[in-house]
Amino acid sequence: LLPGFESCLMGLKAGDEANFSIAPEDGFGEPQEANFQDMPRHTFSDDSTLEVGMVFSFADAAGGEVPGVVDSFDEESVRVNFNHPLAGRSLTFEVKIDRVEPAEVH
């Protein structure tokens, strides 16, 4: 759970309802410039019509998939945003607690 979300749930009991907002720094953080990458345009297939906001899947160093969003592009390069899609956004939640169970200690 996000630390900001978890702290808002503390003290709630079964049957409680709550509305709360979490600031970006307590959620997914602010967008980090280091998570933007400029890539050569030829990295993308010739038949792909690029649009800002398009999502592409990239491989990370461990072989897993990482989504990247086209932030901007020109004939030479494509700027891809690898920040979490909710980075920089305040999050609003409406919750109802169905049950509360004791935490497991590992």
Residue extents of the structural domains in the chain = 1-32+85-106, 34-82
Average pLDDT of the segment spanning 69-90: 96
Average pLDDT of the segment spanning 65-94: 96
The fold of 1-32+85-106 is Chitinase A; domain 3 (3.10.50)
How far separated are the first and last CA of the chain, in Å rounded?
Answer: 17
The fold of 34-82 is Thrombin, subunit H (2.40.10)
Residue 3 pLDDT = 83
Instruction: Give the CA distances from residue 17 to residues 35, 46, 94, 95, in Å, rounded to whole numbers and listed in that order.
Output: 36, 52, 7, 6
Does the pLDDT of residue 102 top 90, yes or no?
A: no
pTM of the model: 0.77
Q: Which of 31, 36, 27 is nearest to 2 (CA)?
A: 27
Q: How far is CA 83 from the centre of its chain?
A: 6
What does the mean pLDDT of the chain come to? Answer: 93
Does the pLDDT of residue 47 top 70, yes or no?
A: no
Q: Per 3-state DSSP, what percentage of the chain is helix, strand, and coil (rounded to 5)?
A: 15, 35, 50
Q: Which of 45, 43, 35 is nearest to 85 (CA)?
A: 35
